[in-house]
Amino acid sequence: MKFKVDKDACICCGACAAICEEVFEINDDEGYAIAKDVEITEEIKNDAINAMEGCPTSAISKCDEKEA
Ligand code: SF4
């Protein structure tokens, strides 16, 4: 499992990074969130899904490894 952020939908609120900093971070240059290229372990999976579901603009989605 991987996650991706639609930067056109991201409003740079930082919520995802606050909920799951292991996976999401705010891109310093442009301000929107990015999903790190990390393995989604069982330990961080729930936080990552909570971050996805908590995104106010639904900018985060799951994707296949190949799409990431
Ligand atoms: S929670 Fe959604 S809108 Fe907020 S920074 Fe993350 S991806 Fe962007």
Q: Where are the domains of the chain?
A: 2-67
Confidence (pLDDT) at 67: 55
Per DSSP, the three-state class of 21 is coil
CB 52 near ligand 1, within 6 Å: no
Which residue is associated with the tokens 């919520």?
15
Residue 1 has pLDDT above 90, yes or no: no
CB 18 near ligand 1, within 6 Å: no
pTM of the model: 0.91
Per DSSP, the three-state class of 66 is helix
Per residue in 6-40, pLDDT tens?
999 999 999 999 999 999 999 978 899 999 999 99
Pick the CATH number of 2-67 from 3.40.50.300, 3.10.129.10, 3.30.70.20, 3.40.630.30: 3.30.70.20
CB 16 near ligand 1, within 6 Å: yes
Ligand 1 atom closest to 51 (CA) = 1
Ligand 1 atom closest to 19 (CA) = 1
